Structure 1
Amino acid sequence: MSQSRVYVVDDDATLRDALTFLLSSRRVSTSTFSSGEEFLEFFNPGLRGCVLTDIRMGGISGLELFSRLREAGSRLPCIVLTGHGDVPMAVEALKKGVRDFIEKPFDANDLVDKLIAAMADDDARAEQDAARRSHTDRLATLSDREAEVMQLLVAGKPNKVIADELSIAIRTVEVHRARIFEKLGVRSAVELVKLLAETDTMHGRATRSG
Structure 2
Amino acid sequence: MNISEATVFIVDDDSAVRDSLMLMIEQEGIRVETYGNGEDFLSVCQNGIYGCAILDIRMPGMDGMQLQQELNRRNIKLPIVFLTGHGDIPLSVKAVKTGAVDFLTKPVTRENLLSSVKSALLESQRLVTQLENGQDAKSKLADLTEREREVMTLAVAGSPNKEIARRLGISHRTVEIHKSKIMHKTGATNLLDLARIASEGRLLE
| TM-score category, normalised to shorter length | 0.7 to 0.9
The aligned counterpart of 1:167 is 170
Q: 1:62 to 1:162 in 2, by over 3 A?
A: closer
- Deviation by residue 1:83-114 (Cα, 9 ceiling, x = unmatched): 11111222222233333211122231221121
The aligned counterpart of 2:65 is 63
**RMSD between superposed Cα atoms in Å:** 2.5
CA contact (8 A) 1:83 1:103 kept: yes
- How far has the Cα of 1:169 moved from its partner? 5.3
Correspondence list, 1:115-130, <5 A: 115-130=117-132
**Hey, what's the Cα distance between the residues in 1 that align with 2:128 and 2:10?**
20
CA contact (8 A) 2:38 2:63 kept: yes
- Deviation by residue 1:24-58 (Cα, 9 ceiling, x = unmatched): 11111110112223323333445441110222234
TM-score, normalising length: structure 2: 0.82
The aligned counterpart of 1:29 is 31
Correspondence list, 1:40-59, <5 A: 40-59=42-61
The aligned counterpart of 1:187 is 189
| Structure 1 stretches of 4+ moved >6 Å | none
CA contact (8 A) 1:149 1:177 kept: yes
**Hey, what's the Cα distance between the residues in 2 that align with 1:45 and 1:187?**
30
The residue identity in structure 1 corresponding to 2:56 is D
Gaps of 5+ in 2: none
Q: 1:167 to 1:116 in 2, by over 3 A?
A: same
1:42 aligns to what SS in structure 2?
A: coil
Please tell me whether Structure 1 or Structure 2 has the larger radius of gyration of its CA atoms: 1
The residue identity in structure 2 corresponding to 1:50 is C
- How far has the Cα of 1:164 moved from its partner? 5.9
Q: How many residues of Structure 1 are paired with residues of Structure 2 in the alignment?
A: 200
- Of all paired residues, the percent bearing the same amino acid is 35
Correspondence list, 1:68-107, <5 A: 68-107=70-109
TM-score, normalising length: structure 1: 0.81
- How far has the Cα of 1:72 moved from its partner? 3.7
Gaps of 5+ in 1: 204-210
2:65 aligns to what SS in structure 1?
A: helix
Q: 1:72 to 1:147 in 2, by over 3 A?
A: closer
CA contact (8 A) 2:25 2:32 kept: yes
The aligned counterpart of 1:109 is 111
The aligned counterpart of 2:180 is 178
Q: 1:167 to 1:37 in 2, by over 3 A?
A: closer
CA contact (8 A) 2:77 2:127 kept: no
